[in-house]
Amino acid sequence: MQYNRILLKLSGEALMGEQQYGIDANRLMQYATEVKSVADLGVQVAVVIGGGNIFRGVQAEQVGLDRVQGDYMGMLATVINSMALQSALEKLGASTRLLSGFSIQQVCEPYVRRRALRHLEKGRVVIFGAGIGSPYFTTDSAASLRAVEIEADVVLKGTRVDGIYTADPEKDPTATRYPRISFDDVMEKNLKVMDMTAFTLCKENNLPIIVFDMNTPGNLERLMAGEDLGTLVTM
């Protein structure tokens, strides 16, 4: 396998599938199947899933609520998605643990780095819920931070686009995909990979990022086999 330990970042929004809100059962099972298939290959898998399909902190301000309160609501949304993914993985027979960035002990273990490492070593899929547990961050930042902490080999950002393009491929038909790009070029060209906090954390810790299309079945396994998919961001 190309990688021994990975951190997979999934967006909450992608979980909606064709729906306008919430969790699409087929999409959820598809993601769980992908994750289990690579765990079965012996790859140590950690997952961070967003909450955008349910609630984002910025929405709070739009309806006159407090931003920090909204961010905690967003973090709770990630716990809901994480619980759904955990359940779907277990349905497929995978062994899993859900670790939360804030205390919610009836449904999650607290995030303790050493415990996360132990679970991974034992072959359990580790899901990190509640982001980093602090407002004003995103789940991309949580993905980068946890990946650095657990010494993952790579952050895999699963999206609906198959990599980083010269322009938005959904708007500009002439846009072309970068198979590989450096951290510096991403910054220089002002390309959107992750938010700056998340991106900088990866850059400063020399942690490669792969942006790839998570909605094509088998892609995660192809990446593990070393296939040249999506866009690899490295030094």
CA distance from start to end of the chain: 22
Question: What type of residue is 203?
Answer: K
The answer on whether 50 is annotated among ligand-binding residues is no
Part of the chain binding ligand UDP (CB under 6 A), chosen from 19-27, 31-39, 50-58, 157-165:
50-58
Q: Are 9 and 139 in contact (CB under 8 A)?
A: yes
Does 74 sit near ligand UDP (CB under 6 A)? Answer: yes
The CA angle 46-47-49, to the nearest 5 degrees, is 165
Name the DSSP class of 167: S
The answer on whether 136 is annotated among ligand-binding residues is yes
The answer on whether 132 is annotated among ligand-binding residues is yes
Hey, which bits of 101-170 come out as E strands? 109-110, 125-129, 154-159, 164-165
Provide the 3-class DSSP secondary structure of residue 229: coil
Part of the chain binding ligand UDP (CB under 6 A), chosen from 68-76, 92-100, 149-157, 176-184:
68-76
Q: Give the pair of three-digit tokens for residue 91.
A: 């349905």
Q: Closest separation between CB of residue 143 and ligand UDP, Å? A: 9
Helix axes 113-121, 139-149, angle to 10 degrees: 70
- Residues 104-143, one symbol each (x = binds ligand UDP by CB under 6 A, - = not), give ---------------------------xx-xx-xxxxxx-
Q: Are 8 and 158 in contact (CB under 8 A)?
A: yes
Q: Which is nearer to ligand UDP, 41 or 58 (CB)?
A: 58
Q: Closest separation between CB of residue 93 and ligand UDP, Å? A: 27
Does 82 sit near ligand UDP (CB under 6 A)? Answer: no
Does 52 sit near ligand UDP (CB under 6 A)? Answer: yes
Q: Closest separation between CB of residue 34 and ligand UDP, Å? A: 17
Q: Interface residues with ligand UDP (CB under 6 A)?
A: 11-13, 50-52, 56-57, 70-71, 74-75, 77-78, 131-132, 134-135, 137-142
